[in-house]
A and B are shown apart, each in its own frame.
Chain A
Amino acid sequence: MSTPATLPWFAAHEFRLAWRDWLAMMTAGRRVRGIVLFIVLAVFYLGLHLLAAALLGPWIRDGITTDKVTLVTVTGTGFLFWTVMLSQALESVTRAYYSRSDLDLLLSSPASSASVFAVRTGAIAFGTVLLACLLASPIINVLIAQDGARWLAAYGVLAGLGALAATLSVLVTIGLFRAIGPARTRLVAQIIAGIVGAGFVIGIQAVAILSLGNMNRYAVMQSPEFVAAAPELSSLIWLPARAAMGGLSAMLLVLLIGFGSLVLVIRATSGSFARHAIAAAGVSAARVQQSASTRPFRKSSQRHALRVKEWKLLRRDPWLLSQTLMQILYLFPPALFLWVSYGQSAGTYVVVIPVIVMAAGQLAGGLSWLAISGEDAHDLVVTAPIHPRAVLIAKIEAVLVSIAVVFGPVLLFVAIASVELAAITGLFVAISAGSATAIQLWFRVPMRRAMFRRRQVASRAATISEALSSIMWAGAAVLAAGNQWIAALPAILAVVVLAVAYALSPKGKRV
């Protein structure tokens, strides 16, 4: 048993909370659900190993040598994982400063805030490494099994890179606090996290599309031009790749750099943790002055009052809206790919149809959650003299009008080229947005709007079915635009996805 308020004591406390959180998230307090989920995840994990074995098989059979192509490929893959780690660490570090849950208790106690910060940063590094190891483990395990135990060192490299990601995240967050103040740090850090997480993937796919005409990022890494332009074999840039391939001294160096920098940064910045966390707490207490309105109250129907309220809240919620809009960023590579691949031959505008349809579905999903589930004054709306159905209709109208405002100009742009294509796109935008909205409606659970980032955790079934239906409708749209009868197939699949989502959704028990 460790001494209270010491570093190990805080670490044990954090570990206990994290473990219980994770358990509750995975099982929702139901043992059977936990077992079923474990089996499903185990099968999925095994499937990833089989996929990795199939992809890596030819490479392993040819014999993996430490040549430049291999180093470029391993480094590129490692960098891909590292950007994901950095993105996750940035978001976690920001949350450590802004999340109030137990921070008030800890900061008001005589315990050292430096210890709290050290433990939380360590936990972030650990969580980051764990996620990266989970994501990379099918590849690493296949390499260990088929090419030798030397690849075990890759786990050490991931640990070092995870620590480095946490280090950089702390530095970026504190830098933002100093440069732009606590009021804007959370939003900017979140945008940076999104861009870092998606940037490398999008960037390299964009290069692949523009230079090679396909979306395979490995094609870029292995292209002769790219390899020729890469630094010489003796360069330090290959240190992590060499370490991952079994170079023991290189791995120790990566670990030393990663954890050494983390310890140094924690020591250097932990003293300011309490100050920044308190400044972050002050942000929520800051008041925003609206320009004094001289406009008289407007006569409106109940539904219109609800719609206007939703639009005001969406407009004034840049942080929540930015999360939604960030999803659209990921749609850029397929758009570019379709544009380059088919644009010139099959009609430039045909190729962007699926991207528009999918983006509409994704955006509608986010906005629907905000409007339907994210109700801050739930009691007020429920106790109002309006039928619950009318409330839902008003909220759906608010979402669909928002979608129309965003996608209207895009459709107009398509209509300049082809009215028929614009009509087809418009139809599928409406269907895709309607499907995503319906899914959010079926899975609605009243929550504070600030819980937006947990919406995917709250219902994985809703998230997965929302994504699947958007993809299916996008496929149906592009095939319908090409006058192909096979468009019916993805459309039927989308309907099946919706039916399954409806069957899985919690029905009744709602006032």
Chain B
Amino acid sequence: MSNPHFALDISGLRKSFDRPVVIDLELKVRAGEFYALLGPNGAGKTTILRMVAGLLRQDAGAISVCGIDTAKDPVSAKQIVAWVSDEPMVYDRLTPLEYLEFVAGLWRIDASEAERHANELIDWLGLRPHANERCGGFSKGMLQKVALAGALVHNPRLIILDEPLTGLDAGSARQVKDVLKQKVASGVTVIMTTHILEVAERMAERIGVINHGRLVAEGTLAELRARIGRETTLEEIFLDLVAQKEADLAAEAAA
């Protein structure tokens, strides 16, 4: 039975492509929490998040979003989830405002409420001067902001972001981080993968480390420090945990 106090409740999750990518994953994220998912390239982070967002089907296991089983009632689950990928996918030939109107239509948001919120987001993210330009000529940072606005325009309860700060300049990254902090402050849950460990260190309440499709460590920064037994940076902790897992796997293979 899933617990509605968890924004995300994953149990026994498995996914294989040509090899196992996610193996018996158990992951719980509390409502209103900022959770960072870390891991080396190919660890399975994006695959996990794509399964949560409904972009991939799991081979086994259950995913529950705010108490809604994503396999049994995908439409209700999607109503409260927003997904932002590292590669912003927006329509080249729509303007940001047209894009947001389209997203609002897809999420069945009241038109006047959506318009008000869309304009707020456009201002918030510094897109006002480009609100009536087609997205085709936008830089990656601007596209990422349009995609983020699209994710926020329908007031999701869970926002999933895959490397959202990749390619953003310092100013844009700050705007995105501020928006996410405000959302968390208002009770929204944010789950984010990132390779920028300082961001995870500063913003996340809890951090999960994934390697070879398994959750190898999880906790607050203090808990992770305690686990490796020394006062150090998240980068050191991360490298230590990953190296430990690699050594375990090598030993298993040798045995």
Contact = CB atoms under 8 A, between A and B. Distances in A.
Q: Specify whether A and B are partners.
A: yes
Interface string B127-153: 000111110111000000000001000
Contacts of A511: 54-57
A30 B141 CA distance: 39
A309 B91 contact: yes
B80 to A, nearest CB: 8
Contacts of A287: 130, 133-134, 136-138
A298 B111 contact: yes
A385 B106 CA distance: 7
Residue of B77, B81, B103, B131 with highest tally of chain A CB at under 10 A: B103
A377 B91 contact: yes
B79 A385 contact: yes
Contact of A379 (B55, B105, B106): B55
B101 interface: yes
Interface residues of A, number: 40
B94 A309 contact: yes
Contacts of B57: 511
Interface of B: 53-57, 75-79, 81-83, 85, 89-95, 97-98, 101-108, 110-112, 114-115, 118, 130-134, 136-138, 150
A312 B132 contact: no
Interface stretch (A162-170, A289-297, A328-336): A289-297
Closest 3 CB pairs of A and B: A305-B105, A287-B137, A385-B79
22 contacts: A285-B137, A288-B133, A291-B132, A293-B98, A297-B101, A298-B101, A300-B105, A302-B108, A304-B105, A306-B105, A309-B91, A309-B94, A313-B91, A316-B93, A376-B90, A379-B55, A380-B90, A380-B150, A384-B78, A385-B77, A385-B79, A511-B56
A384 B94 contact: no
A446 to B, nearest CB: 10
A317 to B, nearest CB: 6
A447 to B, nearest CB: 12
Q: Is the interface of A mostly helix, strand, loop or mixed?
A: loop
A385 B76 contact: yes
A290 B98 CA distance: 10
A317 B54 contact: no
B114 A297 contact: yes
Nearest to A305: B105
B203 to A, nearest CB: 23
Contacts of A285: 137
A382 B55 CA distance: 6
A316 B92 CA distance: 10
Contacts of A384: 78, 103, 106-107
Given A378-B89, A379-B85, A288 B136 contact: yes
Given A304-B105, A377-B89, 6 more contacts: A293-B98, A376-B89, A376-B91, A377-B91, A382-B54, A385-B76
Contacts of A293: 95, 97-98, 132
B93 A313 contact: yes
Residue of B56, B89, B112 with highest tally of chain A CB at under 10 A: B89
Contacts of A299: 110-111
A288 B55 CA distance: 31
Interface in A178-212: none
A289 B131 CA distance: 9
A312 B94 contact: yes
A30 to B, nearest CB: 15
B137 A288 contact: yes
A302 to B, nearest CB: 6
B106 A306 contact: yes
A290 B133 contact: yes
A296 B89 contact: no
A297 B138 CA distance: 23
A185 to B, nearest CB: 17
